[in-house]
Amino acid sequence: MTAVTAVAERWQRFWHAPVDPLPFVAFRQAWAWSMLIYFAAWARFAPEWLTSAGYHPSAAVDPRNAPGVPLIPEAWLPVVGVIFFGALGALILGFARKPALWVLVVSAVYVLMVDPIAAFTINRLFVIGLFILAIAPDPQPVSTPHRGPDSKPDSGPIADGDSMATQVADSTATKVSSPEPLPHLQRAWPTRMLQVLVVAQYFASGLCKIINGDWLDADDILWMQVQGIYMTDATAWMLRHFPHWVWGVLEALALWFELLAPLLFGIRRLWPVALCLGIGLHVVVAITMDQLIYFSLQMCCFYLLFIPPEWIRRLRLFHRPSEHPEPPALGT
């Protein structure tokens, strides 16, 4: 086998190997809850976003930020709210999940186009995340013919030569004849797309800091930023009591975490380091920067994609036993 062939097969397995769907399911639920919290908190300002009551520049004045779709009549807002939050509730509760996801995709795209000034990173991430969730195939049950105690295991019915599929098939062969539901598997590509998305988001943010900012040359950038329009009461207390060097350390940790994100998230053994640094970063952002708690909550949803499914399964928070029966230990 040539090196090129080996790389090609590894690439194929990375995107298409069967994986435990539970991290993806956990992300979907957390993503829906983060949307509910975010949009419920800002729903009282819906007229400013979606109707002529708010500021919307004309195409002649600002073609880039002018509404790209028609505004909603203010009298329609209650109906729009019922449809949107109804779809969100259906997604969380598991009713008509695919139609609900497409309703939310259309809604997120509309919000992004009708008010480009207000709709920034959070809204764009919702559009991408919802679209991936909408096109992702449903997990499929693993099934193999019943084998006797002396029969040899198959090579893997789902992906040729894939040890994980073989492990699942072997572990479930004795369960096929029982009334218990079979474990489920899902192709890896929806999970991988979301993992790549969050790594790209971090890395691009780090590049912007060093290309368009002074983060490499100064240690007081974060210290100055938290004193601006984002300052919270907690930030004011921290500025009074924390030594100046603490802000320099936090700034350096944030910058190098983002720049090294491809390495930290790309090597499985470094995932614990990535999770600790990333969650720490977003806790600091949520505490010190006004209204960015929603962004931190949204970004932390991605971390569920890097947590071993066994950990999620022990918590019993994101799946119903009838929908995702407990399979043997799998990794993503």
Label residue 264 exposed, middle or buried (CB < 10 Å: 0-12, 13-18, 19+): buried
Sign of the dihedral defined by the CA atoms of residues 315, 318, 319, 325, in that order:
negative
pLDDT of residue 230: 85
Model-wide pTM > 0.85:
no
Instruction: Flag the least confident range among 178-182, 277-281, 309-313.
Output: 178-182
Strand pairing report for 18-19 and 184-187: antiparallel
Report the distance separating Cα 84 and Cα 229, nearest Å: 31
Long-range contacts of 228-232 (CB under 8 A, 24+ apart): 229/290, 230/288, 230/289, 230/290, 230/291, 230/292, 231/288, 231/289, 231/290, 232/287, 232/288, 232/289, 232/290
pLDDT of residue 143: 62
pLDDT of residue 199: 96
Please check whether residue 255 is in contact with residue 214, taking contact to mean a CB–CB distance below 8 angstroms.
no
pLDDT at residue 164 is higher than 50: no
Place of tokens 């004045």: 61
First to last CA, the chain: 26
Domain-wise residue ranges, the chain: 20-138, 190-290
Q: For residues 34 and 56, which has the higher predicted lDDT (pLDDT)? A: 34
Position 309: which residue type?
P
What are 52-95's pLDDT values in tens digits?
A: 888 888 888 888 888 889 999 999 999 999 999 999 999 999 99
> Of the segments 2-11, 150-159, 161-170, 312-321, which one has the largest average pLDDT value?
2-11
Mean pLDDT of 154-172: 38
| Nearest of 313, 285, 316, 302 to residue 129 by alpha carbon | 302
Report the distance separating Cα 186 and Cα 138, nearest Å: 7
Please check whether residue 19 is in contact with residue 159, taking contact to mean a CB–CB distance below 8 angstroms.
no
pLDDT at residue 233 is higher than 60: yes
Report the distance separating Cα 75 and Cα 53, nearest Å: 12
